[in-house]
Amino acid sequence: MRPKTDLGALLSHQPLFRNLDADQLALMTAACHQVNIEKHQFVFHRGDPANGLYVVAVGSIKLAVPAANGQEKVIEFFGPGDAFGEAFMFLDKPYMVEAQALDDSLLIWIDKRDLDAAIDRDPSLAKRMLAGLSVRLHTLVKDIETVNLQNAMQRVVMYLLSQPREDGEMHFPFNKGIIASKLGLTPETLSRLLHQLTDAGLISVDGKRVLIPDVAALEHRMYAETARIS
């Protein structure tokens, strides 16, 4: 457990709380709690009451909706600086998703009432939260579009291209099964498609590392798929 004294510095580095004046920061620091979560541990489960908001300081969190048979559909990943759980907090409804740590993580937790008070004091905080929710809404709409309007290959290629890469190489940040769920595929299908791309000479896969020798060619492959659909 890290010492409580970290909290002020930690907070001031989060997008949500940047540029707060000293008084505000002190108030928020008092209101916040550190939460350490080990890899594979759950932050909350579906049905838990949502009376606060989390911000990821370090680590990564997976938001997913559990299915009947032990399956799950991954909704989104959160990394350092991202806030999650706000939407359910504002609605005063229990979580309909579950949050699980994909790495050992450090979270900041803020109670709804303290946040309410902070918003009253500083409207810019509200605006930042509105911006944050808007980003999430945007990505969700994009995901819905992706799942409904693109086929499996397009989704995989888009994902590969969307991930940060250096020297023409990208990394799967998590297990392939989890990525597959995020893309709305089974692990088997993802595996087969990666194999297909490899056969086509567009990528080469080694564990979590993917080499993309010709990005333009891969993009072209995706548009070829688009043409097939229309």
Within 97-156, the residues that bind its own copies by CB under 8 A are 97, 116, 119-120, 123, 126-127, 129-131, 133-138, 140-145, 147-149
Of the candidate residues 33, 39, 73, 220, the single one contacting its own copies (CB under 8 A): 73
Give residues 129-168 in contact with DNA (rule: CB under 7 A): 151-153
Considering the rule CB under 7 A, would residue 177 count as an interface residue with DNA?
yes
Residue 176 interacting with DNA (CB under 7 A): yes
Residue 152, judged by CB atoms within 10 A of its CB (0-12, 13-18, 19+), counts as: middle
Q: Please name which of 77, 100, 85 lies closest in space to residue 172, comparing C-alpha atoms.
A: 77
- Residue 192 C-beta: closest distance to DNA, Å: 5
Residue 230 lies near its own copies (rule: CB under 8 A)? yes
Q: How far apart are CA 87 and CA 98, in angstroms?
A: 13
194 to 223, contacts with DNA by CB under 7 A? 194-195, 205, 207-208
Structure tokens of 92?
Answer: 């005063």
Q: If you write DSSP's letter for every residue of 41-86 in order, what string do you get? A: -EEE-TT----EEEEEEES-EEEEEE-TTS-EEEEEEE-TT-EESH
Question: Which two structure tokens, joined as six digits, stand for 136?
Answer: 């999430």
Give the CA dihedral 60, 62, 63, 66, nearest 10 degrees. Answer: -160
The footprint of DNA (CB under 7 A) covers 151-153, 172, 175-177, 184-192, 194-195, 205, 207-208, 229
The footprint of its own copies (CB under 8 A) covers 65, 67-69, 71, 73, 75, 86-91, 93, 96-97, 116, 119-120, 123, 126-127, 129-131, 133-138, 140-145, 147-149, 184, 226, 229-230
